[in-house]
Amino acid sequence: MRPEKRQAFTLVELMVVILILGALTAIAVPRITGGSFNAGVNACRNNVDIINSQIELYHSRTGTWPLDLEKVTKDPNYFPDGPPECPFSTPYILVKTDGKNRVPDHNHLDKKEVKKMPIFLIWLLELLSKLK
């Protein structure tokens, strides 16, 4: 007797492949979404540093601290490409501290809190913050 040729996969083989792909997705997706959130937090911190540097430059040129943030951010001498924007659409606020006007760091979600949250909730929070 001659064995028959197989022309398709069995249901068990398909289920094993689906389980392996599901496990790989469960490992990869949290790392990818967490990385984009961390990149946004780092970009926001860099923006705050740049704005504060330009505020100090404004002070060294004029001898006074700006009373509102738009004096610096709308001036093409300080930001020729336009003012930097927070990746999470949180507005930057000018605060007077120690006799200087500065932009404080934003209070975005802590990294530990993000790791505890389900991915869809992180995505939803990011979406809601963009709609504000």
Q: What is the pLDDT of residues 39-74, one digit of tens each?
A: 888 899 999 999 999 999 999 999 999 989 999 999
Q: In the predicted model, what is the mean pLDDT of residues 75-97? A: 89
Q: How many residues does the chain have?
A: 132
Tell me the residue range of the domain where 102 lies.
21-131
In a domain, 7, yes or no: no
Q: What is the mean pLDDT of the chain?
A: 82
Residue 53 maps to a domain: yes
Can you list the pairs that 36-42 forms with residues at least 24 positions away whose Cβ atoms lie under 8 Å? 37/109, 37/114, 37/122, 37/126, 38/111, 39/87, 40/87, 40/88, 40/108, 40/126, 41/108, 41/111
Query: What span, in angstroms and rounded, lies between the C-alpha atoms of 127 and 62?
Result: 40
Report the domain count for the chain: 1
Confidence of residue 109 (pLDDT cuts 50, 70, 90): low
pTM: 0.62
In a domain, 4, yes or no: no
Does 14 map to a domain?
no
Contact between 86 and 104 under an 8 Å Cβ cutoff? The reply is no
Does pLDDT of 111 surpass 70?
no
The answer to whether residue 52 sits within a structural domain is yes
Would you state the pLDDT for residue 52? Answer: 94
Q: How many angstroms separate the CA atoms of 14 and 102, rounded? A: 59
Q: How far apart are CA 93 and CA 45, in angstroms?
A: 13
